[in-house]
């Protein structure tokens, strides 16, 4: 910042700062950009004005000049099931690009990122890696769980209730009770969905303070955390600790390890490779299986189980999970963090306060991690499933394909009762390029579960599923249909074999038949315009994080 405000040649710049009402004393201090994802349409962001104000106070108390600028945010829940969802994933790159532009144009000395929901966290982590100036993250925090019928509930319960209603299992009054009660506060939706997954993994990467992923949005301690984030960035500036000092290959190994233990959203397998790419680090999906093979799954938060983010917070949070894993020597404890201390120093003494929420490593839910990458002739470059949210009877499944060219086609068939026990629903042309935008598809997965077919029907797509999805739902199948992938030649009635323990996904036809189909296959195209047309022309495969690479 000094190069912009000091000296006679920069008097024009100072005149514009005076136009903002900024004093000479403020100009003499380090200028800290606070990236605010606040808006009035996303429940996870409607409280961020208060978080931002707390960050401002923290920065000022520690000797900096805070300056706020915005980032956009899309609510995946509101965008779900219609054209709006095509615009969700694509905002990750808009957020990264616009934040980079603002920070570089105005010469900030350091940044505090204030995201919360699905794409804002990875988008801002990507920007932090590019800019590589001292940066701290503080999210808006998770929503408290709702209560319906005396049980804790969340957004995934709401979507499944629609399936129950369509199947005649609940009436309109019961559906309305879910509608009014499952989302009782502001904050990111209360299960281990994508937003909370990424906020927890920001702690693990070392880019957020303790509690960033778990302290509920409505707790006063969330405001205290924001003040401490403002103070922490000033200390990072003094010590010259930068994002690429923190987000090393070892830090990403830690993130993948804790991802497996927490049972995070499958979308982490899109976002972690994209963030790592900005750090100059490549994450191959096979690394995920290698890490999963030696990492126990310790948590079954919603949608995998009956516990929620508030429960994880009370049990000791992410650091308690990390401390459990460290008993097995699974973490790189010498990685630097935004605290100025190492991972090992941060997690020392952070004990597990509730073995029902965080299983001890001696008694895990499973000896392998919560996410699996499947490969085979149907997914040569891989597909991703949240193994911890799959019923035991569906870990191995073989059944006939019911093929659909879009989410809407599949949803109509499910609602009409055309999907029966044993089927494998295949939804294609929903990938990064083919969608475009790789829509999350919580509607069809929730309908299947709500109708009672979760123990007998699998879903496969070159698109992706919500972090709120549970069941045998395999997404990110790559190459996608629009890029000429084998999922594009699957026919109704073809037998598909799923073996999650062995990481296999196979189309049960001969190699000769598959080769013949592929030879005669011409992918379908869509008429596109605007940003989606540009995005589709530039985006990479879901297997590499759906990054913009052209």
Q: What is the pTM of this model?
A: 0.96
- CA 370 to CA 364: how far, in whole Å? 11
Residue 285, pLDDT score? 84
- CA 518 to CA 510: how far, in whole Å? 12
For residue 29, give every residue at least 6 positions away whose Cβ sits within 8 Å of its Cβ, in sequence order, or none.
Answer: 63, 64, 65
- CA 156 to CA 371: how far, in whole Å? 19
Residue 550, pLDDT score? 56
Q: Are 271 and 259 in contact (CB under 8 A)?
A: no
- CA 259 to CA 537: how far, in whole Å? 31
DSSP class of 88: T
Residue 73, pLDDT score? 97
- CA 316 to CA 307: how far, in whole Å? 14
Active site residues: 466
Residue 3, pLDDT score? 72
The end-to-end CA distance of the chain, in Å, is 32
Residue 2, pLDDT score? 66
Residue 286, pLDDT score? 83
Task: Give which of 145, 126, 150 is closest to 137, Cα–Cα.
Answer: 126
Residue 549, pLDDT score? 78
Residue 265, pLDDT score? 94
Q: Are 301 and 381 in contact (CB under 8 A)?
A: no
- CA 501 to CA 246: how far, in whole Å? 33
Residue 5, pLDDT score? 85
Residue 1, pLDDT score? 64
Kindly give the parts of the chain with pLDDT less than 50: none
Q: Give just the sign of the alpha carbon dihedral 448, 449, 453, 454.
A: positive
**173-197 as b/e: b if 16+ CB within 10 A:** eebebbeebbbbbbbbbbbbbbbbb
């Amino acid at each position: 910042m000094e190069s912009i405000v000091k000296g006679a040649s920069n008097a024009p710049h100072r005149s514009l700062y005076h136009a903002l009402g900024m004093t000479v004393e403020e100009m003499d201090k380090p200028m800290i950009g606070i990236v605010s994802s606040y808006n009035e349409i996303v429940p996870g962001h409607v409280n961020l004005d208060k978080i931002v104000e707390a960050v401002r106070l923290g920065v000022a108390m520690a000797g900096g000049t805070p300056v706020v600028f915005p980032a956009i945010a899309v609510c995946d829940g509101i965008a779900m099931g219609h054209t709006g969802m095509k615009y969700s994933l694509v905002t990750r790159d808009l957020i990264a690009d616009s934040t980079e532009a603002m920070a570089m144009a105005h010469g900030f000395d350091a940044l505090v990122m204030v995201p919360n929901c699905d794409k804002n966290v990875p988008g801002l982590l990507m920007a932090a890696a590019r800019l590589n100036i001292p940066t701290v993250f503080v999210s808006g925090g998770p929503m408290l769980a709702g209560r319906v019928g005396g049980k804790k509930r969340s957004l995934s319960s709401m979507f499944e209730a629609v399936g129950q209603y369509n199947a005649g299992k609940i009436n309109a009054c019961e559906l309305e009770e879910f509608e009014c009660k499952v989302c009782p506060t502001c904050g990111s939706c209360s299960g281990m969905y994508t937003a909370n997954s990424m906020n927890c993994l920001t702690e693990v990467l070392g880019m957020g303070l303790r509690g960033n992923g778990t302290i509920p949005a409505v707790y006063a301690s969330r405001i205290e955390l924001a003040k401490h984030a403002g103070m922490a960035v000033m200390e990072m500036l003094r010590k010259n600790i930068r994002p690429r000092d923190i987000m090393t290959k070892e830090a990403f190994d830690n993130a993948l390890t804790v991802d497996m233990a927490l049972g995070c959203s499958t979308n982490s397998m899109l976002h972690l490779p994209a963030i790592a790419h900005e750090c100059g680090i490549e994450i191959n999906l096979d690394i995920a299986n290698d890490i999963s093979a030696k990492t126990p799954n310790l948590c079954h938060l919603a949608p995998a189980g009956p516990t929620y983010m508030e429960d994880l917070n009370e049990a000791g949070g992410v650091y308690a999970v990390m401390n459990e894993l460290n008993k097995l020597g699974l973490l790189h404890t010498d990685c630097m963090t935004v605290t100025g201390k190492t991972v090992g120093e941060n997690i020392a003494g952070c004990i597990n306060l509730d073995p029902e929420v965080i299983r001890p490593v001696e008694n895990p839910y499973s000896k392998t991690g919560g996410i699996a990458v499947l490969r085979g002739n149907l997914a040569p470059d891989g597909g991703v499933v949240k193994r911890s949210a799959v019923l035991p009877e569906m870990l191995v499944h073989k059944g006939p394909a019911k093929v659909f060219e879009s989410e809407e086609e599949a949803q109509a068939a499910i609602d009409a009762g055309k999907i029966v026990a044993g089927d494998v629903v295949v939804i294609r042309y929903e990938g990064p390029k083919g969608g475009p935008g790789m829509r999350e598809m919580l509607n069809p997965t929730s309908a299947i579960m709500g109708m009672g077919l979760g123990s007998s029907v699998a879903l496969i797509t070159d698109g992706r599923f919500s972090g709120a999805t549970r069941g045998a739902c395999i997404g990110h199948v790559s190459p996608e249909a629009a890029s000429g992938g084998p999922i594009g030649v699957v026919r109704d009635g073809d037998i598909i074999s799923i073996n999650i323990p062995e990481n296999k996904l196979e189309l049960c036809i001969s190699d000769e038949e598959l080769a013949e189909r592929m030879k005669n296959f011409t992918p379908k195209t869509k008429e596109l315009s605007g940003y989606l047309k540009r995005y589709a022309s530039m985006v990479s495969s879901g297997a590499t994080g759906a990054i913009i690479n052209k």
